[in-house]
Amino acid sequence: MTDFALWRKTVLALVIGSVGAMVAIWINLPAPALTGPSIAVTVAGLLGLDLAFETRVRDVSFLVIGLSMGTSVTPEVYQSAKQWPLSLIAIVVTVTVGFFFGQLVLKRFWKYDAKTAVLSASPGHLSFVIGLGMDTDADIRTVSIVQSIRVLALTLVVPMLIVWSGMAVNGFAVPSAFMTLPWLAFSLALAALIGLAFKKIRIPAAFVLSGMLVSIVTHLSGLISGHMPQWLALPALTILGSMIGTRFSGVTMAELRKAFGAGMAITFVGISAALLFAGLLTLVVDLPLAQLLVAFAPGGVEAMAAMAFALNLDPTFVATHHIARIFYLSFFVPLALMWWGKD
């Protein structure tokens, strides 16, 4: 694909995503800058439009989202981090239980072969999962589509569940102070350099993590104060939502019908496990159920962290737990293939 063709597809996806965001704001969807573009671009892709995303556009949006997370770190957040060891243990349990029942459901009710079922049910780390699948006889196309349905469904279902159940309010809490342009430029440049280094050594969610780290350090040290300007934060969320939607570009309706039930099944299993263990954890830690649910729901790292930001939850907490989930899956998915991937 030529650079011009890729940029044309990227611009088209962004235009469609922006329209979706405006419609979502108009009808008051939860986290509209994220959910609206996801829906609009998904529909466009399924209708036959060839959409994609230029890597540099994606990475810049991840940097902005990461920097936005760190600006919310306060001494109170630092104090609440004392409760994180319990929640990090809980997310390992949540992932393991959800993974086990997800692959079991796909084997028994959708008759997937063992390897395809295990890889389709993995709660995240898609690029790693696909890489593992290349060395097996698993149906990689099915794995990719089922996993894409999971990411989209969680992006849409989790904020609706949280807002409509009353666990959190819809809409941004607009801050009163913003980073100045020189410090914003400095933060973006430093986070980009660190993100490139992280990417080179294959750290998951490299640019989100680098942005978050830079923002946390500069804000806790007092070097920088203020939040991410809305004129950057909202477009970054729109880009992320649009990018999620492009997963369905090139997917035929026949392929979608074949994989839809399986994708929704593992989504249901994942949300159920997240709700169960988040609810149990609230009995022993002083953390909001909504925050734990977003942290435990097996969606995309960037999407779930951005969702926390959009729902006025603690995005640092959420991002940390999702990165922990991805690291855990790096070790656990190969073991799951050995244990559960036998026909």
18 vs 3: CA distance, rounded Å? 22
pLDDT of residue 316 exceeding 60, the answer is yes
pLDDT value of residue 173: 55
Does the pLDDT at position 303 exceed 60? yes
Spatial distance between the Cα atoms of 306 and 161, rounded to a whole number of angstroms: 16
Angle formed by the axes of helices 230-245 and 301-310, to 10°?
A: 140
Q: What pLDDT shows up at residue 176?
A: 63
Q: Give the model confidence (pLDDT) of 88-111 as tens digits.
A: 999 999 999 999 999 999 999 999
Residue 197's Cβ-side half-sphere holds a number of Cα atoms within 13 Å equal to 9
How does residue 112 score in pLDDT terms, banded at 50, 70 and 90?
very high
User: Which residue from 306, 268, 274 is spatially nearest to 289, judged by alpha carbons?
Assistant: 274
Q: Quick check: 306 pLDDT over 60?
A: yes
**Which of 20, 131, 21 is CA-nearest to residue 122?**
131
Q: Average pLDDT over the chain, rounded to whole?
A: 90
Asked if residue 114 has pLDDT above 70, the reply is: yes
With a pLDDT cut of 90, the percent of the chain lying above it is 66
What per-residue confidence (pLDDT) applies to 343?
75
Residue 254 has pLDDT above 60, yes or no: yes
Q: Measuring CA to CA, how many Å separate 125 from each of 103, 130, 151, 330?
A: 16, 9, 11, 8
CB-based contact 113:343 (threshold 8 Å) = yes
Rounded Cα distance, 119 and 138, in Å: 8
Question: 3-state DSSP call for residue 297?
Answer: coil
Nearest to 73 by CA among 224, 209, 179, 216: 216
> Longest C-alpha distance within the chain, in Å?
58
287, 41, 276, 51: which is closest to 155 by C-alpha? 41
Across 38-47, 55-64, 76-85, 192-201, least confident range = 76-85
Q: pLDDT class for 164, splitting at 50, 70, 90?
A: confident
Residue 148: is its pLDDT beyond 60? yes
What contacts 158, CB < 8 A, 6 or more positions away? Answer: 271, 293, 294, 297, 299, 304, 307
Work out whether the CA dihedral 179, 183, 187, 188 comes out positive or negative: positive
pLDDT at 301 over 90: no
Q: Are 111 and 318 in contact (CB under 8 A)?
A: no
Average pLDDT over residues 234-245: 94
Confidence of residue 15 (pLDDT cuts 50, 70, 90): very high
Distances (CA, A) of 127 to 76, 154, 276: 36, 18, 28
Amino acid identity of residue 23, one-letter, is V
- Torsion angle of the four alpha carbons 35, 39, 41, 42, in this order, in degrees rounded to the nearest 10: 130
Number of domains the chain contains:
1
Beta bridge partners of 248: none
pLDDT attached to residue 261:
96
Q: Which domain holds residue 310?
A: 3-340
**pLDDT band at residue 82, thresholds of 50, 70 and 90?**
confident
* Highest mean predicted confidence (pLDDT) among 59-73, 95-109, 201-215, 246-260: 95-109
In this predicted structure, what is the pLDDT of residue 315? 85
Q: Do residues 191 and 211 touch, judged by C-beta distance below 8 A?
A: yes
Q: Which of 146-160, 167-181, 206-220 has the highest mean pLDDT?
A: 146-160
Token reading at 89 = 């243990």
CATH number at residue 248: 1.20.1530
Give the dihedral sign, CA 103/106/109/111. negative
Give residue-wise pLDDT tens across range 125-141.
888 898 888 878 899 99
Is residue 30 within 8 A of residue 159, CB to CB? The reply is yes
* pLDDT value for 277: 97
Q: How far apart are CA 169 and CA 149, in angstroms?
A: 26
